[in-house]
Amino acid sequence: MANIESAAIGRYTRVAIALHWLIAAFIVYNLVSGWYIAELPSIFRDFHVSAGLTVLILTLARIGWRLLHRPPPHDDALKPWEKGLANLTHICLYAGMLVLPLTGWITISLNPLPGSEGAAYLEAMKARVAIASGHAPAPRHPPLTFWRITKIPRITPLQRLGARPEDVPSQLKWHDNVAKSHEISAIILLLLLALHLAGALKHEWFDGRPQLRRMGLPGRHKARGEITDPA
């Protein structure tokens, strides 16, 4: 269990800090790659999905760690509304870190089950559309892999929604709706990250409080009496 943190300025445990920065790195990569995914080589599509699922796994691990290890208290110098806003932002960030990869996983699962009549119908429909527009049919992409190690599992019940040709249009509609939700979730998460970063920098640079040290970064100010759990 975590040691008692400084009442004025506490620091997160090493595990919490490591999870924080790993998740942040994968999220930044996905937010950037997501905007240009159509123009990037197919390998980056693999990496985009792999990074998203990694964020989901690491977020679940971080939630579990947080439940077992009490986080350091807020800086005593913060006003009540600032503590409330910080708590609300953290909750929304956790929700976003779950919703964004989940909607991405659901999106790639909302395609007909491979080998089904619906899958054959969809491929033929794509080929007809491409030829009608004067383009060659797009080559089939290889199955998505998790960091080039193993195939990424799909949510089978969602795949089965388009198993029959007559069901494919309905499944595609769901696919497009969830994909749109995925894009909106990315924008919301980006705004939340900006708010989170702005708050930390505001307290560090304008309020003169060592907020960056809570997450293991060197800051302008040094916390006094800081006690940190080596775990």
Does some domain include residue 102?
yes
For the chain, what is the total number of helices (H) and then of strands (E)? 6, 2
Does some domain include residue 209?
yes
Domain count, the chain: 1
Query: Closest Cα to residue 207, out of 224, 225, 193, 220?
Result: 220
pLDDT per residue of the chain (231 residues) written in tens, 0 to 9 = 333 333 345 789 999 999 999 999 999 999 999 988 878 888 888 999 999 999 999 999 999 999 999 888 888 888 899 899 999 999 999 999 999 999 999 999 999 999 999 999 999 988 888 787 777 666 666 688 999 999 999 999 999 999 999 999 999 999 999 999 999 999 999 999 999 999 888 888 887 777 788 888 776 555 444 444 546
> Can you give the pLDDT at residue 141?
63
pTM: 0.85
Distances (CA, A) of 184 to 34, 210, 227: 12, 33, 40
* Residue 125 CA neighbour count, 13 Å, CB half: 12
| Amino acid identity for residue 193 in this structure | L
> Can you give the pLDDT at residue 38?
79
Residue 208's region, left for phi above 0, alpha for psi from -120 to 50, else beta, is left
Does some domain include residue 1?
no
Cα–Cα distance, 163 to 156 (Å, whole number): 11
> What is the residue range of 55's domain?
14-215
Does some domain include residue 81?
yes
CATH of the domain at 169: 1.20.950
Does some domain include residue 98?
yes
Does some domain include residue 207?
yes
Does some domain include residue 138?
yes
Does some domain include residue 220?
no
